Amino acid sequence: MEKHKLPGTVIALGLVSFLNDMASEMVTPFIPILVATVLGAGPVILGLVEGAADAAASFLKLWAGRYSDARQGRRKQLIVFGYGLSNLVRPLLALVSSWGALLLLRSLDRAGKGLRNAPRDALLADSAHSGIHGFAYGFHRAMDNAGALGGTLLAVAALSWLNWSVSEVILWSAVPGALVMLVLVFGVHEAGVQQQKPQAPLAWAALSPDMRRYLWVLVLFTFARVSESFILLRGNELGMSVVHLLLLWAALNLVKAGASLLGGRMADAFGRRRLTMLSWSGYAAGFVALGLVEQGGALWACTLLYGVLAGMGEGSERALISLYADERERGTAFGWYHLAVGLSAIPAGVLFGTIWHYWNAGAAFLFAGALALLCALLLRFWRFNDPA
């Protein structure tokens, strides 16, 4: 395989994601703790909040991707606005006193994500050589997870050594959020499309058959890939302290970062669909293991196993979109991708939380693991035209 270097825009977008997730993970690990303690709610409310947060901006994701295609690859404006909105409202979570306020702020946070994700993912494909798309997306996911690690460790340090309150940690997430905007404005340059090309139709039927098949499988997989916040909720049930839960969250993101970078390289070398199937199978095994744990030590081991196996496919899963999409429809295709996943997020989160509430945590994790295995089998045996 010919060697190609990551271009500067891809590296800058990786740094943006690193800083943004640093800010986000100074907040996100506290959400299940706030739900269970301050707000006095349980897994159903957590499933509703996390599902709604991902689904609230689903149509924005499709619109944003489509709009960036219509502007002939000029995608940066939407990306800047999306990151700006998220980093403006996220520190306000320090002030919530009801689950309704939590739901509103998480939804606004994800609205920013809805505006930026499809144009950003399309810009990554625009900027990188097609032979290293797996590496580009793997690098981006690795930086994302590394930022999550850094943010969690900062939160642990602030709680343990500085004796800050949870609210103070959340408020200070505004600092890396401000750095996000500086890097984004001055370090990211959009490729643009030099030649005017007709825009692909928005209709679902206008997508390639491979793209539609893959998106249907992804919708089903969303019901398996529920929020990782449930792992923290399980740790809280098992009596783990807040600091131990934050360290667990940091370790999860550390192993996912390393696995994402390696998985991106492997996807380009051995096939993006093949590696995605392997990752999803590993995801299934990881969630089955999580469903069987009854002690904090076992939860640590199973969470790290899950992180390695799930992280391997994070880059290849997105690289498949760039493989199945025509260049002129990249933004639209990523918009459909995020829309399909986002619309499935609310029922997926509520279903998982309901199974947990009426049966137990083990049944919920086992259900998710079985569903992930089914999706891996569909990706293997449903007819796709790519050789991998």
Quote the pLDDT of residue 308.
Answer: 84
pLDDT at 194: 45
On whether the CB atoms of residues 56 and 110 are closer than 8 A, the answer is: yes
Give percent helix, percent strand, percent coil of the chain, each to the nearest 5: 80, 0, 20
Give the separation between CA 160 and CA 154, rounded to whole angstroms: 10
Segment 111-153, tens digit of pLDDT = 898 889 888 888 888 888 777 877 788 888 888 878 888 888 8
Name the token pair of 211.
Answer: 């793209």
Which pLDDT value is given to residue 1? 42
Contact 72, 196 (CB under 8 A): yes
Domains (range + CATH), the chain: 8-187+208-381 (1.20.1250.20)
Do 319 and 267 meet the contact criterion of CB atoms below 8 Å apart? yes
Phi, psi (deg, nearest 5) at residue 372 = -65, -40
pLDDT at 2: 45
Residue 30 above 80 pLDDT?
A: no
- pTM for the structure as a whole: 0.70
* Percent of the chain clearing pLDDT 90 (strictly above): 10
- Compute the distance between CA of residue 290 and CA of residue 305 in angstroms, rounded to an integer: 9
Whole-number pLDDT of residue 274: 79
SS3 of 185-254: the string is HHHCCCCCCCCCCCCCCCCHHHCCHHHHHHHHHHHHHHCCCCCCHHHHHHHHHCCCCHHHHHHHHHHHHH
